[in-house]
Structure 1
C-alpha cells in the first residue's frame, strides 16, 4: 500500500484507524411525549360550582355589619348549639380573613376547612371582620363566610362568636367528624 502524503489528512486518519465496522440501523429517536390531557370535566364542574355559589349569593339576603351569623343542622341537638353560641367549645384552629379579596378569602376558607377536616378538628374560629365601612357598604367577607359554611356538608353548625372571642366579626364553626 502506498504511503499517503502529508497533504492528505483524511487518508492518514483512515490509515491510523484501520478498517471500520458500520453501526447497525437504529430505530428513530423517540418523539416528544404527548401533552397530558386536560381535566375538562373537573374544570367544568368547578365552573358550575362557582356559578351555583354565585347564584346562592344572589338568592339570599345579605347580612349587615352587626348581624349575627347563626346556622344549625337538624342533626345537632339544641343543647350543643347553645354551647357553641356561648363559646363553650375550644377553637382548635383559627383563620383570619382580614385584608383578603373576595376570591382570596373564598380560596383560603375552603382550604382552611379542608385542612381542619383532615386534622379532624371539632371546632374552629373564622375571623371575617365586621365589615363596618364609612361608605355604608355590606360586609363582603362576612356574607361570604355565611354562604360557604351553609353549603358545606362537613359543617354541623356555626354562630357568631361571643364578644370576648370576636363578637359579630368572627364565627365559631362546629365541624363534622369523619
Structure 2
C-alpha cells in the first residue's frame, strides 16, 4: 500500500485480515523507559518504539519464539539506549529500522544515536541487524559487549568481526 501511495487513512484492517499485533509500540513519544520486565510469547514484534526520542530499554527479558518475533525494533527513533537485556527470540534480536519505501522517503526520519550494550541474544535469524526497512536512514550506532551464542545468519558474526577491526 505504501508503494502504491494509498493514503494512510485508507489503510484500515480488521476482521479477516489476520494481522498480528506488536506488544509494545509507543508512537511519537519522548522519554520512554522500559525497565525490569519480562515479556513472554508476544505474537509479533515485541518492543517497537516508532518516531520516539530518548528511549531506554534496560534489564528487559524477552522470551518469544514465534515467527517475525523481533525483540526490539527502534524505528525512526533518536537517542536510544538498549542495555543489560536478554532476548530469546524467533526472529531478529534487534532490528534497527527507519521505515519503508515511499512512506519513509516522505517522512525522512532516520534512526540515530543508538547504543546497544551488555546484551545476550539467542536468535533464530540475526543477533543485531540494521534493516530491513531502512529507507529513512540510520546514523550513529554504537554496539559493545554483545554475546550471541546462537544465530542462524553467519553474516552476523562476520559483521561484528569487521566492525571490531575498524572501530575498536
TM tier, shorter chain? under 0.3
Instruction: Please state which structure has a larger fraction of its residues in helix.
Output: 1
Larger relative contact order (C-alpha < 8 A, sep ≥ 6)?
1
TM-score (norm 2): 0.25
